[in-house]
Amino acid sequence: MKTRMAMECFDQMLFPFYWDHPYSWRTNLRCALPRPLCWWVNKGGDCEAAGATHVWYKQDDVYSACYHCRVIREGQLWQSQ
């Protein structure tokens, strides 16, 4: 699981940095740090609660997870972006 997130995290670096997204800096920091250190920077709480939108990735065949926060939802939400 963590290895998959680390691999997809490098793809995340291609996303632009959003100044108006409250958790964007955490995501980019996790991607920039060496792997042993990136796990110390936790994901944010909930993007929607903070007034931002989720950016989904495929966690497995059933669930989608947000790059920026800890929200995991059922469905292939990453395909609708």
Domain around 10? 2-80
How do the residues of the chain divide into helix, strand and coil, expressed in percent and rounded to 5? Answer: 35, 15, 50
The average pLDDT across 62-71 equals 93
Reported as a single tens digit per residue, the pLDDT across 29-63 is: 888 888 888 888 888 899 999 999 998 999 999 99
Over the chain, what is the mean pLDDT? 80
Share of the chain above pLDDT 70, in %: 80
Number of domains in the chain: 1
* Res. 4: pLDDT tops 70: no
